[in-house]
Structure 1
Amino acid sequence: MKDTTKHPCFNKENAGSCGRVHLPVAPKCNIQCNYCNRKYDCVNESRPGVTSSILKPFQAAEYMDAVLEKEPRITVAGIAGPGDPFANPQEVLETMRLLNKKHPHLLFCLSTNGMGILPYLDDIAELGVSHVTITMSAVDPAIGAKIYSWVQDGNTIHYGEEGAKLLLDRQLKAIKGLKDRNIIVKINSIAIPGINDDHLLEVAKVASELGADIQNIIPLKPTADTLFADIEEPNHNLIGPLRKAATPYIKQMTHCKRCRADAVGLLSKDQSASLCGTLQACAQHKPLELEKPRPYVAISSREGLLINQHFGETKSFYIWGEDQKGNFSLIEERKVPPKACGPKRWEELALLLNDCRTVLTAAIGETPKVYLEEHGISSHTLSGLIQDGLEAVYHTGNIESLKCRRAGIAGGCQGTGTACG
């Protein structure tokens, strides 16, 4: 049983002895806050939304190994951006799976705006995520519309009060869903003078009613190139009374450091700068599988002539290779094992194709694509003759000209492992 009190952000008394690491594996975001300017290669600023590098899941696991060697007081592995974890769900879930295998003693934490978390509540509970922070700065869509430029739901962008209302609905359901699964919930609320400073008590009341455990009222940090860049940062004379007024309703966090998306170390002794080189080095790592010979190309095809089948619907892959004279030959038809469910299916297919450098397919979902990449296998959605695809892979490198015009075929597919991929 993990000691959940060892999270330094949720438990001030442990902030001096327990550390955290933020793994920057989530670059994309599904909302645009008027105070946020994400930077993926910044080493100077100290605020949420900035990082010196972006990591792939396997790189994050390797970075975690390196961090624990240098700072054994780390008790929490968190993902806080630089975008939103659930705008990058497959990368985030795969990172958590890898960490769960290698470092099951750690507490796992996610920080999200709540917009996209609902479909993944059972996944994160299964993976042992113990703490989730939801940034909720308004419980009135009219006020939320002043804070958010837009929110994205799938392929649809919502603006104004419509977007703010949708976001709020997702946030409220997320808090309830997390508490139903016994996950500890913190509410981050950004205090923005003239926008929501006289509304945050209502946020505290709603959070309390839903069972949230703690609230963190954070002063706005004015950031260049944002709509709120010219709003003055609120000082303790504003933040102190806000926290005091909210305390009867919900416990208040008072030791927040407004951490970067790649923060590491104790809250009082951040080591982001000293470990920046380690992070950047891990971001350059290639999957170990790339060291193995990969002479072949796997093709999804119905009849063995055209690239015309969905990756997840392929019953047998056509495995092609190139001889020393540059001629292509069919090595074998490699049968796919009986379908497993969920992640196990994609893991099995990646292992099945572990001697292939790439997969050429008519369509592929995001989840299997991530699994293949983790095993060092690239994938391309193409249409046309197999011979043309092989020519592009082995000789010309001009794969773009064969890109599938019907790429939308997998646009709605999340790669759940139940049928297609």
Structure 2
Amino acid sequence: MKLPVINNTTVTSEAGGCASGSCGSSDASVQSLPESIRAKVADHPCFSEQAHHFFARMHVAVAPACNIQCNYCNRKYDCSNESRPGVVSEVLTPQQAVKKVKAVAAAIPQMSVLGIAGPGDPLANPQKTFETFRRLTAETPDIKLCVSTNGLTLPECVDELCQHNIDHVTVTINCVDPEIGAKIYPWIFWNHKRIRGVEAARILIEQQQKGLQMLIDRGILVKVNSVLIPGINDQHLIEVSRIVKEKGAFLHNVMPIIAEPEHGTYFGLTGQAEPTPAELQAVQDACAGDMNMMRHCRQCRADAVGLLGEDRGAEFTLDKIDAMEIDYEAAMVKRAEVHEQLLGQLYAQRESVVQPDTALQGRAVLMAVATQGGGLINQHFGHATEFLVYEASDDGVRFIGHRQVEKPYCEGGSSCGEDAETLLDKLLNSLQGCEVLLCSKVGYEPWSALEQAGIQPNGEHALEPIEDAILAVYQEMLTKGLLQTPDRVDLKSA
């Protein structure tokens, strides 16, 4: 994969790279938007990076059929061990979905958004999808409704989408060139027949672009998802980003292909490479420019429940829901109170962030953070299932992405698991490129291993806001002269 040469780990590109923190997914990039739009994304964990620390989402799996085949997709049912799009444990009827939404909203008052994202394509299952939306619009009016689609039948569904409480739509657009599309999509099912190759990709692209424009014209906020496939659309995604931005898409989410052989996808079985974190960051930065770039996506299951980065779906299976008594009127009152408190915390953190001392200048630094949410450093190193990665520089702090780990290093109790050494090696590998790790606590053994790997653990900022703590550590590193600006480097070899 050919990557742009960068300075301070930030891509510069004729397509619109930027060294400013406003080019990332920071909420600073939406401050100039009209208040009506800002209000729509303030508590939406998928459309606002800062909101994902505070608010939860859920997906209901009511849409099993799909009208296209993607080489990176394999829909699985009754699967509890995989966390990726297209995987569910239960496919629900609309009636079951509404009951589950009420149960989750009552038990998790932080929940603000309900989405239908599969396990197939929601708009290829219009009857089930729209019956679910109709019921939710009437029975859960305080919940935002979202839908994710491949866009093939989007134009014919826009009118129906507008009839419900749906003002956020995600469209997956992996290319705008049919020749590239033919390498990603083996076939589509269109007008009652299966179409293959370049012609199939051409039809899909035309429908996606038409539907995108129709949504924008109706005032619906659109997030565009693009799967980064090294060697196929990596360089092309810069053009995709340019076009969807021109049409008015609010947010672009460039996410890495998942191509592990055990998932049984075509790309997984043929050895398609997955991008490294550095390669993903390079493409995201090259696509960013003044476009909002989503970097906190977790590529959720089609039945995900909870905060981004966690999955509480096992708590709300059909058998457990049937045994619950739900007072949704009372739940709405409680949720309104909790949301008001969370928004207050969110805005307070946003206002409190300080800026670095510009009297000293240095190179950018990647820092990993262990957090349980709330925008705070509040998790023990050994309990983390993922780490958030931020870049600190003279321009401030910007969120880069997340690094998942196979399972927590410490399973709890007085000792860690027998395979702790192997887990620690994998964990250190997942943090490659990071120079600092911020957490609430860390044990002696992993502390030493982190230092040996060139990662400085830091537990001095427990319970502090993430960005404030990162800036404090960055400022300390500047003061100690640890961040002299290097010559330009190629990110791929860095």
TM > 0.5: yes
CA 1:90–1:11: 2 relative to 1, 3 Å: same
1:166 partnered with 2:206:
no
Separation of aligned partners in 1, 2:308 and 2:224: 19
The aligned residue for residue 225 of structure 1 is: 264
1:156 partnered with 2:197:
no
The aligned residue for residue 237 of structure 1 is: 278
- Structure 1 residue identity aligned to 2:244: A
Separation of aligned partners in 2, 1:191 and 1:244: 13
1:180 partnered with 2:217:
yes
> 1:55–1:282: 8 Å Cα contact kept in structure 2?
no
> 1:23–1:78: 8 Å Cα contact kept in structure 2?
yes
User: Aligned to 1:4, which of 33, 40, 54?
Assistant: 40
| TM-score, length of structure 1 as denominator length | 0.65
1:66, distance to aligned residue in structure 2 (A): 0.9
The aligned residue for residue 83 of structure 1 is: 120
CA 1:283–1:139: 2 relative to 1, 3 Å: farther
Q: How does 1:278-297 map to 2 (within 5 A)?
A: 278-279=317-318
User: Aligned to 2:169, what secondary structure does the other structure show?
Assistant: strand
CA 1:71–1:134: 2 relative to 1, 3 Å: same
User: Aligned to 2:314, what secondary structure does the other structure show?
Assistant: coil
> 2:114–2:144: 8 Å Cα contact kept in structure 1?
yes
User: Aligned to 1:252, which of 288, 293, 298?
Assistant: 293
> 2:103–2:321: 8 Å Cα contact kept in structure 1?
no
Q: Deviations over 1:88-127 (max 9, x none)?
A: 0010001001001111111110000000121111111111
Separation of aligned partners in 1, 2:121 and 2:141: 23
- Structure 1 residue identity aligned to 2:272: I
- Structure 2 residue identity aligned to 1:246: C
User: Aligned to 2:313, what secondary structure does the other structure show?
Assistant: coil
The aligned residue for residue 152 of structure 2 is: 115
User: Aligned to 2:187, what secondary structure does the other structure show?
Assistant: strand
* Greater relative CO (CA pairs within 8 A, separation 6+): 2
Q: Deviations over 1:309-367 (max 9, x none)?
A: xxxxxxxxxxxxxxxxxxxxxxxxxxxxxxxxxxxxxxxxxxxxxxxxxxxxxxxxxxx
Separation of aligned partners in 2, 1:243 and 1:131: 22
The aligned residue for residue 164 of structure 2 is: 127
Q: Percent identity between the aligned chains?
A: 45
The aligned residue for residue 267 of structure 1 is: 308
CA 1:232–1:274: 2 relative to 1, 3 Å: farther
User: Aligned to 2:267, what secondary structure does the other structure show?
Assistant: coil
- Structure 2 residue identity aligned to 1:244: D
Separation of aligned partners in 2, 1:133 and 1:74: 19
Separation of aligned partners in 2, 1:249 and 1:165: 28
CA 1:283–1:242: 2 relative to 1, 3 Å: farther
CA 1:281–1:55: 2 relative to 1, 3 Å: farther
| TM-score, length of structure 2 as denominator length | 0.56
Unaligned runs of 5+ in 1: 286-421
1:236, distance to aligned residue in structure 2 (A): 1.4
Separation of aligned partners in 1, 2:103 and 2:86: 23
Separation of aligned partners in 1, 2:228 and 2:102: 36
> 2:75–2:120: 8 Å Cα contact kept in structure 1?
yes
The aligned residue for residue 201 of structure 1 is: 238
The aligned residue for residue 33 of structure 1 is: 70
1:167, distance to aligned residue in structure 2 (A): 0.2
User: Aligned to 1:232, what secondary structure does the other structure show?
Assistant: coil
1:281, distance to aligned residue in structure 2 (A): 5.2
1:284, distance to aligned residue in structure 2 (A): 12
> 2:87–2:301: 8 Å Cα contact kept in structure 1?
yes
Separation of aligned partners in 1, 2:197 and 2:76: 25
The aligned residue for residue 42 of structure 1 is: 79
Q: How does 1:276-355 map to 2 (within 5 A)?
A: 278-279=317-318
The aligned residue for residue 228 of structure 2 is: 191
CA 1:222–1:62: 2 relative to 1, 3 Å: same
Q: Could you list the runs of 4 or more consecutive aligned residues of structure 1 that deviate by over 6 angstroms after TM superposition?
A: none
Q: Deviations over 1:204-253 (max 9, x none)?
A: 01111111011000100014322200212211111111111111152100
> 1:59–1:283: 8 Å Cα contact kept in structure 2?
no
Of the two, which has the highest radius of gyration?
1
1:54 partnered with 2:91:
yes
1:198, distance to aligned residue in structure 2 (A): 1.2
1:280, distance to aligned residue in structure 2 (A): 5.6
Q: Deviations over 1:181-200 (max 9, x none)?
A: 11100010000011111111
1:282, distance to aligned residue in structure 2 (A): 5.5
- Structure 1 residue identity aligned to 2:65: K
Separation of aligned partners in 2, 1:280 and 1:150: 37
User: Aligned to 1:202, what secondary structure does the other structure show?
Assistant: helix
> 1:152–1:158: 8 Å Cα contact kept in structure 2?
yes
> 1:56–1:283: 8 Å Cα contact kept in structure 2?
no
The aligned residue for residue 290 of structure 1 is: none
Separation of aligned partners in 1, 2:169 and 2:158: 11
User: Aligned to 1:134, what secondary structure does the other structure show?
Assistant: strand
